[in-house]
Amino acid sequence: LESMMTAGRTLFESGKLVEAAKWFKRVQEKLPSYPKVLYYIAKIDFLSNNLAEAKKKIEKNIKENGETDDDLVFLAEIEVRNENIIE
């Protein structure tokens, strides 16, 4: 699974989001709660402007794996993009 995540991350960082999503989804099929897999799938949704799905997935990731600084920053990015900011 680790090598599949590495392949997905490498493709993600190269901007090849469709290919990266395929690797992440393969990992998710084998172990849905694998650390960071939902994070990266959510990031791909976010970059594809599918904000509702991105938020749903990152919240599920937090529930299953505990929250990290990356998760909280990402949630904030989603809220900013949705213009749900408290001033």
pTM of the model: 0.89
CA–CA distance, 47 with 63 (Å, rounded to integer)? 22
pLDDT score recorded for residue 85: 61
Give the C-alpha distances (Å, rounded to integers) separating 77 from 8, 31, 53: 22, 27, 14
pLDDT of residue 35: 87
- Segment 27-71, tens digit of pLDDT: 999 998 898 999 999 999 999 999 999 999 999 999 999 999 999
The pLDDT of residue 25 is above 70: yes
Higher-confidence position of 30 and 83: 30
Per the structure block, which two tokens stand in for 81?
A: 């993009």
Average pLDDT, the chain: 93
